[in-house]
Amino acid sequence: MGLSECFGRDRVFNTPLSEQGIVGFAIGVADIGHTAVAEIQFADYIFPAFDQIVNEAAKYNYRSAGQFHVGKLTIRAPCQSVGHGALYHSQSVEQFFMAVPGLKVVVPRSPVQAKGLLRASIVDSNPVVFLEPKFLYRSSVEEVPVDDFILPLSEAEVVKGGDHITLLSWGGPLYACVQALELLANPPREIAKHVPQAVRSANVELIDLRTILPWDRQTVIQSVAKTGRCIVVHEAPVTAGVGAEIAAEVQKSCFLNLQAPVIRLGGWDTPFPHVGELFYKPEAIRILDAIITSLTY
Amino acid sequence: MAASTAMSAGRMRLVQQLCVPARTTFTRTSSSFVRSFASTSLLGKDGDEPQGHLPGHPSSVFLTSLNDSFFDRVKPKTLSGNANAQGGIPTYRLMDGVGRLLPGVTDEMVNITQAEAVKMYRTMLLLPQIDVILYNAQRQGRISFMMTSYGEEGAVIGSAAGLALQDEVFAQYRESGVLLWRDFSIDHFMSQVFGAEDDLCGGRQMPIHFGSTKHHFHTISSPLATQIPQAAGAGYALKRTKGREGNVVICYFGEGAASEGDFHAGMNLASTTKSPVIFFVRNNGYAISTPASEQFRGDGIASRGPGYGMLTIRVDGNDALAVRSAVQSAKAKALSEQRPVLIEAMTYRVGHHSTSDDSSAYRSKQAVESWKQMDNPLHRMRNFLTDRGWWNDKLEEETKVQHRKLVIEAMGRAEKKKRPQLSSLFEGTYRGEMPGNLKEQRKELALLIEKYGALPVWSKELAKHANAGKDMEQYREDKA
């Protein structure tokens, strides 16, 4: 809002409605050495540009041995659920880009995080896909420095320390994780019988992964080596989701420390539905159930 | 839905818990300040146009005859009242099929010096020399892959000659002639094809996927048409780059690639963003085995230009001089009018699509032979030069012998060169710090080489690399 008036229409402008065109165009701008911040209206519509992102942007530096690169390219796209977005206004797409060497993929969880990580993405010397949880656009409010600042990429953040179990997520589902922790400590009367007294005082370590690729293996592995238990929560379907990659890495690096199987919580392996959203997403109840399952294994 | 909404409201309260105030870990890089630039928007207001007319087309007339309202072609305005209009969009040419200037064409219109015309022809002659030698090298298994430029020498060299050396080139893959025109060294050419240690692109791509910053030639990639919207963006960036306002982008592609969605995207974006880009289509009649008649039903690619509001010209691609002047003029218009231009060069792919293709499976050898005889860009240019006393049989023979020697010697040198050192396989995926997973995988390969490097199939390959894979030794320890 207001950027076009402030900086001029040659810097902030509309494009024709064409995702492959938007990303291809931005690649060309970055190739010449200008900073290009492209927006895809919804992450659900990034797929027409998949070829430009995967075959072109991600490989630009490697294939030319650094002669040409698009490090000054950042692609922003609203992602994740919004309550009623159904199939094409709800998707989490990070898993598709996690498999693409040469890209960076970032998901913030709050306004401070969004500003610091976006600034880092723009100045990073590699192309970045920056996915913004749209549910938080107007609901998340906090004090954000007006001054310029940067939060590091590829560094997860331990939001809440703990030593009994590691709960890992990014973007919107982190709020469901916090809600699950409240349910764990103070279960409502209706479900109290399912929450054993012994687990209610469990000390859960909550981690915000923040960067999906290249992800912070060190922070996650250190945490699971300490807690011996791990749950990964994301909204994308479970099969071949980001959780699969993390679970495989955790079992490789923490095999002797693990006291329970790594649990992956995601959307079911279906398209994102309209009226069934509450039962589709990994909401607080499902996360609570997974925590109990892991702690009582 | 009610339950979902209630849950969402609950989550909104929780938002506060994950929103922590800014911490000391933030890197402060500059102070904030208030921008006071005025808006530069000069757009007209909605509703300025007369009611009932399309925005931007206030002259659109209303028809009540349904039959008269259908149409399937847009005729160039220059054809109004011209009998040629029946044949579709006309083709611009200066020379006839044997290289004589057409009636009414003067030397002033051609506007070329002896030195430049001779350089053009010499470069046109170099291409088939490289093509024949590398084509045979591929048949002998000395290189993995090759694509020739036979028949398109005029279109490619003619267009290169119409540009400045600093104009940015986005190519498809059959435009190596542009690099030759820009004096890209034959050694670098061969190093790319052989994946040698000194290949500018690190031996990472298949043969003929060239790239060179010095020659403003953006690295070729195999996915077709992806360079078209990129060229639009590059053109936009150029006009915003101080000191580069006099340069344009030229973007090459074949008529087959023009069927990709990226063609549509790039043409529309270049047009709406008013970017100085020359889109140069080599319409050579075939996309591998698909004839143009199965590629499109409209009047070639040129007919699409007006649909994007783009200045368009169709040119005889085997008339190198016409191509040169069309590109010169397109560049001047692109810069003075700040808009893209589409050039469709009509030519014929004389060679096979690539070394993985035998074109006799889908077209007769006789047809190819008659094209070579009937309309050959090399013969036409040669006759043009000979008529002016700028060329003769002796020069022709000498040049061919020189070129052949040059190419064979460079190929011999490239063939003896080592490949890039093995560790470079992992480098350049990211700029800056190498991610931990890549360092770990590099270590994994280093340990495997230590254990199994003596195996004949591995040791033979390792010996082809600079340092024979010994550069990997340093990565056996943890470097993460």
How far CA B118 is from CA of A107, B319, B392, in Å, comes to 58, 15, 11
Q: For B330, how many CA atoms within 13 A lie in the half-sphere containing its CB? A: 35
Each residue's pLDDT tens digit, A248-278 = 999 999 999 999 999 999 999 999 999 999 9
Q: Any alpha helices (H) in B346-435, and if so which ranges?
A: 365-374, 377-387, 393-416
Residue B431: what residue type?
R
- CB-CB neighbors (< 8 A) of B221 in chain A: 55-56, 59, 63
- Across the range B80-108, mean pLDDT stands at 82
pLDDT of residue B76: 66
| Mean pLDDT across chain A | 97
Indicate whether B390 and B429 sit together in one domain: no
Residues 208-227 (A) with a CB less than 8 A from some CB of B: 208, 214, 217-218
- Across the range B250-279, mean pLDDT stands at 98
Answer whether residue B85 shows pLDDT above 60.
no
Q: Are A73 and A58 in contact (CB under 8 A)?
A: no
Each residue's pLDDT tens digit, B300-340 = 999 999 999 999 999 999 999 999 999 999 999 999 999 99
Residues 135-174 (B) with a CB less than 8 A from some CB of A: 168, 170
A269: tokens are 């392996």
For residue B400, give how far its alpha carbon lies from the nearest alpha carbon of chain A (Å). 32
Indicate whether B454 and B408 sit together in one domain: no
Answer whether residue B376 shows pLDDT above 50.
yes
Each residue's pLDDT tens digit, A61-87 = 999 999 999 999 999 999 999 999 999
Each residue's pLDDT tens digit, B7-63 = 444 444 555 567 655 444 444 444 433 333 333 344 445 444 444 455 555 567 788
Q: Are A130 and B434 in contact (CB under 8 A)?
A: no
Q: Are B421 and B198 in contact (CB under 8 A)?
A: no
Exposure string of A118-145, with b = 16+ CB inside 10 Å and e = fewer, is bbbbbbbebbbbbbbbbbbeebbeeebe
How far CA A239 is from CA of A98, A267, A268, in Å, comes to 14, 9, 9
Where residue B70 falls among pLDDT bands split at 50, 70, 90?
A: confident
Indicate whether B181 and B233 sit together in one domain: yes
For the whole model, what pTM was predicted? Answer: 0.92
CA separation for the pair B399, B155 (Å, rounded): 21
CB of A65 less than 8 A from some CB of B: yes
Each residue's pLDDT tens digit, A12-24 = 999 999 999 999 9
Question: Last residue of a domain, which of B395, B416, B437?
Answer: B416
Bridge partners of B252, per DSSP, are B280
Q: Report CA torsion sign: A35, A41, A42, A44.
A: negative
Indicate whether B313 and B174 sit together in one domain: yes
Q: For A255, how many CA atoms within 13 A lie in the half-sphere containing its CB? A: 3
- CB-CB neighbors (< 8 A) of B438 in chain A: 101
Phi and psi dihedrals of B426, rounded to 5? -95, -15
For residue B195, being part of any structural domain is answered with: yes
Q: Report CA torsion sign: A187, A189, A190, A192.
A: positive
- β-bridge pairing B286-287 and B290-291: antiparallel
CA separation for the pair A197, A189 (Å, rounded): 13
Nearest CA to B217 among B183, B245, B255? B183
Nearest CA to A178 among B22, B21, B12? B12
The answer to whether the CB atoms of A218 and B436 lie below 8 A apart is yes
Indicate whether B362 and B456 sit together in one domain: no
Matching residue, tokens 């309202």 = B69
pLDDT of residue A262: 98
Indicate whether B333 and B378 sit together in one domain: yes
Best of B29, B32, B236, B249 to disrupt the A interface (most A CBs within 10 Å) is B236
The catalytically annotated residue of A39, A56, A84, A89 is A89
Q: For B389, how many CA atoms within 13 A lie in the half-sphere containing its CB? A: 0
Nearest CA to B133 among B420, B326, B423, B412? B412
For residue B336, being part of any structural domain is answered with: yes
CA separation for the pair B342, B395 (Å, rounded): 36
Q: Clarify whether A245 is annotated catalytic.
A: no
- β-bridge pairing B290-291 and B311-316: unpaired
For residue B309, being part of any structural domain is answered with: yes
CA separation for the pair B201, B209 (Å, rounded): 9
Top pLDDT among A88 and B364 is at A88
Angle of the B320-337 helix axis to the B377-387 helix axis, nearest 10: 90
Indicate whether B373 and B435 sit together in one domain: no
For residue B16, being part of any structural domain is answered with: no
pLDDT of residue B88: 81
Question: Last residue of a domain, which of B397, B416, B435?
Answer: B416
Q: For chain B, give the percent of residues with pLDDT over 90.
A: 75
pLDDT of residue B58: 54
Residue A182: what residue type?
E
How far CA B238 is from CA of A210, B113, B264, B395, in Å, comes to 35, 30, 21, 41
For residue B354, being part of any structural domain is answered with: yes
B429: tokens are 């995926």
Interface confidence (ipTM) of the complex: 0.96
Q: Clarify whether A19 is annotated catalytic.
A: yes
Task: Please measure the distance between the N-terminal and C-terminal CA atoms of chain A and give it in whole angstroms.
Answer: 51
- Across the range A55-65, mean pLDDT stands at 98
- For residue B455, the enclosing domain spans 422-475
For residue B174, being part of any structural domain is answered with: yes
Q: Which long-range CB contacts under 8 A does A136-139 form with residues at least 24 apart?
A: A136/A109, A136/A110, A136/A171, A136/A172, A136/B15, A137/A78, A139/B11, A139/B12, A139/B15
Nearest CA to B92 among B24, B183, B155, B42? B155
Indicate whether B160 and B245 sit together in one domain: yes
* Superfamily the domain A3-136 falls into: Thiamin diphosphate (ThDP)-binding fold, Pyr/PP domains (3.40.50.970)
How far CA B436 is from CA of A128, B9, B193, B245, B441, in Å, comes to 18, 40, 32, 42, 9
pLDDT of residue B367: 85
Each residue's pLDDT tens digit, B379-422 = 999 999 999 999 999 999 999 999 999 999 999 999 999 999 99
pLDDT of residue B322: 97
CA separation for the pair B255, B159 (Å, rounded): 17
Indicate whether B426 and B310 sit together in one domain: no
pLDDT of residue B370: 83
> Which stretches of B258-340 are assigned E, i.e. beta strand?
277-283, 286-287, 290-291, 311-316
Cis ω before A108 (30° cut-off from 0): no
Least confident range of B229-238, B262-271, B356-365, B413-422: B356-365
Indicate whether B437 and B360 sit together in one domain: no
Answer whether residue A171 shows pLDDT above 60.
yes
Closest A-chain CA to B215:
A67
| Mean pLDDT across chain B | 88
The answer to whether the CB atoms of A65 and B26 lie below 8 A apart is no
- Across the range A146-169, mean pLDDT stands at 98
Residues of chain A with CATH 3.40.50.920: 157-296
Under DSSP, the state recorded for B148 is -
CB of A144 less than 8 A from some CB of B: yes
CA separation for the pair B162, B328 (Å, rounded): 5
- Across the range B85-94, mean pLDDT stands at 81
Partner-chain residue, chosen from A28, A69, A141, that has the shortest CB–CB distance to B230: A28
Nearest CA to A78 among A52, A50, A114, A54? A114
CB of A146 less than 8 A from some CB of B: yes
For residue B31, being part of any structural domain is answered with: no
Q: For chain B, give the percent of residues with pLDDT over 70.
A: 85
- β-bridge pairing B168-170 and B249-254: parallel
pLDDT of residue B27: 45
Partner-chain residue, chosen from B11, B17, B428, that has the shortest CB–CB distance to A66: B428
Indicate whether B345 and B434 sit together in one domain: no
Under DSSP, the state recorded for B98 is T
Indicate whether B382 and B437 sit together in one domain: no
Domain spanning A157-296, CATH class:
alpha beta
**Number of structural domains, chain B?**
2
Nearest CA to B209 among A49, A59, A33? A59
A46: tokens are 């990034």
Residues of chain A with CATH 3.40.50.970: 3-136
Each residue's pLDDT tens digit, B406-463 = 999 999 999 999 999 999 999 999 999 999 999 999 999 999 999 999 999 999 999 9
**Secondary structure of chain A in HEC code, one letter for each residue:** CCHHHHHCCCCCCCCCCCHHHHHHHHHHHHHCCCCEEEECCCHHHCHHHHHHHHHHHHHHHHHCCCCCCCCCEEEEEEECCCCCCHHHCCCCCHHHHHCCCCCEEECCCCHHHHHHHHHHHHHCCCCEEEEEECCHHHHCCCCCCCCEEECCCCCCEEEECCCCEEEEECCCHHHHHHHHHHHHHCCCHHHHHHCCHHHHCCCEEEEECCEEECCCHHHHHHHHHHHCCEEEEEEEECCCCHHHHHHHHHHHHCCCCCCCCCEEEEECCCCCCCCCHHHHCCCHHHHHHHHHHHHCC
For residue B137, being part of any structural domain is answered with: yes
